[in-house]
Structure 1
Amino acid sequence: MKIGDPLDESTTLGPLSSKDALDTLSKQVDEAVKNGAKLHLGGKAVARRRQFL
């Protein structure tokens, strides 16, 4: 999986549309885990990358 610029054809995961979207998705992930969901990967914002989860 390549995280990066959504205009780059080799990118498979681009950023969320806004900080609010990142915050909302982070809360949804936390709530899902609290209710028994299991994460297969991180589930937290990517360090040093804005708006990537």
Structure 2
Amino acid sequence: MHVASVGARKAANIEASLAAADVGLTADDLAEIDRLTADAVPVAGASPEGIS
């Protein structure tokens, strides 16, 4: 995973989220994501590792 799995407090939550790993993206899909996020501004803040 390259992003936080928000709300995954139990193994069952993670198992349910694993279905996303089976999603395939085409070159067109990736190009559209790049287009949509081209003007995105990185946001810094608390990370899951820093929250207790």
Higher helix share: 2
TM over 0.5: no
Larger gyration radius, structure 1 or structure 2: 2
